[in-house]
Structure 1
Amino acid sequence: MFLEDIEFSLWVDFIEREFIHTTLKNLIEQNIVNGATSNPAIFKNAILNSPAYKEQLAKLSGDAKAKYEALAIEDIKMAADVLKPLYDKGDDGFVSIEVDPRLAYDAFGTVEEAKRLLAKIGRDNVMIKVPVTPAGCEAIEELIRDGVNVNATLIFSPKQADECLDAMERGFKSGSQSHAVLSIFVSRFDRKLDPYLAQKGLPVGRVGIMNAAKIYNMIKKRNLPHTKALFASTGVKGGNYPSHYYISELVAPRAINTAPVETIEAFVKEGDKRARLPISNEEIEKFFIQLKANGIDMKKVYDELLHEGLDAFVQAFEEILKELS
């Protein structure tokens, strides 16, 4: 863990073949990161832009999805092996792979694909990423019941988090020893709302943080076994914020932040390492009452961000398949 006194971890939000054996290894050796995450957009950039995949790709046959899975599975195996010593000593050590994002509304298909991918990867320290839709929650419950480690992703709203926690709780009742994280997306709120808030003379750069703080409190209150909050979408894109802003503002006990390498390096060098969470529910509620009073419909924002996130992952996935077909 990066901050052992409060059990705060940094995971790198990037996977690429050469990176795994160079930068990732170095970050682990320096006790900076102890996990890694991936998503369809990350794999798209890696597979389509890095020469490291050309040799394996030339030997592959089958349809485009089979080729994609062969490439992604090889990367996940490599990353899992590099992270295994951390996993063995109970210091996270997980790497995540997402199911086909087109299965977001198919619980059966999600479970089936998750188990198929895990069988091919053959590593204990892998988390299956499942978007938190109603079907995703069904899948999460079954996967946890069956002992699969789960990264519940694309969480924007407290309602999503609550439904996900319910599903996880039902899964854990089997006595499952699964590990789970709830990936709470952060920066996209501010990219969407900052221009409007600035026009109103209201503070900017706070909606994503306060929303994440609210969901963090929910996770903490549930106190499910082997379950943590993971703050995601924490790279800064636009706005006048330091590059480490969404890590520094979300340092929290028993929590994880997954971010691009550059964001992590900036935080290590100049970020604020003091715990900023928890924030009281009263302060959080006051903040959202103010937003509502200024015409912001958070339910609409939550719904839009979830659909945008799902669409972006599906688009990235289909672009990979098109290139590989």
Structure 2
Amino acid sequence: MSTPTEQLTAQGVSIWLDDLSRSRITSGNLAGLIATRNVTGVTTNPTIFAGALAGHGYDDQVVALAAAGASADEAIFEITTEDVRDAADIFRPVFDATDGLDGRVSIEVSPDLAHDTDATITQAKQLWAKVDRPNTLIKIPATKAGLPAITAVIAEGISVNVTLIFSLERYADVIDAYLAGLEKAKANGHDLSKIHSVASFFVSRVDTEVDKRLKAIGTEEALALVSKAGVANARLAFELYEQKFAAEDAKALTDAGANVQRPLWASTGVKDPSLPDTLYVTELVARGTVNTMPEKTLEATFDHGVVTGDTVTGNYADAHGVFDRLAAVGVDFADVTQVLEDEGVDKFIASWHELQQTVAGALAGAPEIAAR
């Protein structure tokens, strides 16, 4: 019998791990997850790197960087790009076997730049050049300032993971930014078939915010909608994806060799312990999607996930119904998604500053580390 992760793969879902550390790379853990859990990519963010760098797997590099007089930001740049490069090399056979579709490793521009278009473009180019692997994705947030940066970076032939998407309106803007970037890349003479992108649509955080509001409303109609918004929102995102990439402007580009921008389900770890721990995996199965999972969710899916086929495209009417009912009970979803975007940026900035403090402390303590 096939495993649930094999069944997901057979349904056209790419499984990416939402975690990376040097110990995963050097211990063989990452290679093991590729072999046994059907993992075909990795995503990172400042929170993940902050946790990873709190360990001791980076001591030798920290000592060398301290001796070279590196600042905390310079050290972060060197450390994180080395991890991403090494992970990209581990995933290279997957990248080659899937003709560039999978085998991808993401690295994020500094969240401090989330509202600075020009600085985001500059750092995206620096990260792409430093990692120097074709199976890298540069993560750019879907803030208003991020949208023109997405277009500019795609125009340079750089593959992009657009992160922190919560609303359908912003998702439509993200697809438009990608298509505009492809038009410019084509004009710049880039091979469109080599440019890939995913749009990271966040799921569980939507339920966390909406459910808080539904419980505050407290009516029977409101409480009946608890834990339904996240999946419904993602399903409507897939409906929008299908519509946008069937349109003439997108079709002209894909006919010229461009790739569609695949929807990626992010934030798929269940926050409410009363919910099934594989909810945001089994209820969002659709061909051509990516599901990036924390290891706990990955292991739960492998152990007891029930994959029943496509659980998205036949459920659009139900998803629209959920949103009609949310509006009827008084949930302002536009406000929900703005709060989530602001919180998402703030959380990543806080993790980035924690990362800077961790690395600054390690650099200061390098002589002590070297003496161990």
TM-score normalized with structure 1 length? 0.95
Q: Select the residue among 5, 12, 21 that pairs with 1:16.
A: 21
Partners of 2:342 and 2:121 in 1: CA distance: 21
Cα RMSD of the aligned pairs, angstroms, is 1.6
Partners of 2:34 and 2:328 in 1: CA distance: 46
After the TM superposition, which residues 219-258 of structure 1 pair with which residues of structure 2 at under 5 Å, given as runs? 219-223=241-245, 225-258=259-292
Q: CA deviation at 1:264?
A: 0.7
Contact 2:203 2:234 in 1 (8 A): yes
**1:42-101 deviation digits (Å, cap 9, x = unpaired):** 0000012x2101121111132111011111011101110000000011250000000011
Contact 1:130 1:150 in 2 (8 A): yes
Q: Are 1:209 and 2:209 an aligned pair? A: no
- Aligned amino acid, residue 86 of structure 1: V
After the TM superposition, which residues 290-309 of structure 1 pair with which residues of structure 2 at under 5 Å, given as runs? 290-309=325-344
Q: Are 1:118 and 2:152 an aligned pair? A: no
Q: What is the DSSP-based 3-state SS (H/G/I as helix, E as strand, rest coil) of the residue aligned with 1:230?
A: strand
Q: CA deviation at 1:279?
A: 4.2
Contact 2:72 2:356 in 1 (8 A): yes
1:67 corresponds to? 75
Q: CA deviation at 1:195?
A: 4.1
1:128 corresponds to? 138
**Any stretches of 5+ residues in structure 1 without a counterpart?**
none
Q: Are 1:284 and 2:289 an aligned pair? A: no
Q: What is the DSSP-based 3-state SS (H/G/I as helix, E as strand, rest coil) of the residue aligned with 1:34?
A: strand
Partners of 1:266 and 1:291 in 2: CA distance: 30
- Aligned amino acid, residue 72 of structure 1: T
Contact 1:197 1:203 in 2 (8 A): yes
Q: What is the DSSP-based 3-state SS (H/G/I as helix, E as strand, rest coil) of the residue aligned with 1:243?
A: coil
Task: Give aligned pairs, total.
Answer: 324
Contact 2:175 2:261 in 1 (8 A): no
The structure where helix makes up a greater share of residues is 2
Greater gyration radius: 2
1:183 corresponds to? 200
Partners of 1:271 and 1:4 in 2: CA distance: 13
Q: CA deviation at 1:26?
A: 0.5
Stretch of structure 1 that moved more, 3-12 or 290-299: 3-12
Contact 1:253 1:277 in 2 (8 A): no
Contact 1:155 1:183 in 2 (8 A): yes
Partners of 1:119 and 1:165 in 2: CA distance: 25
- Aligned amino acid, residue 206 of structure 1: K
Q: Are 1:26 and 2:43 an aligned pair? A: no
1:43 corresponds to? 49
Q: What is the DSSP-based 3-state SS (H/G/I as helix, E as strand, rest coil) of the residue aligned with 1:30?
A: helix
**1:189-230 deviation digits (Å, cap 9, x = unpaired):** 112222443533313211111111111111122225242000
Q: Are 1:155 and 2:131 an aligned pair? A: no
Change (3 A) 1:133 1:181: same
TM-score normalized with structure 2 length? 0.84
1:80 corresponds to? 88
Contact 1:10 1:256 in 2 (8 A): yes
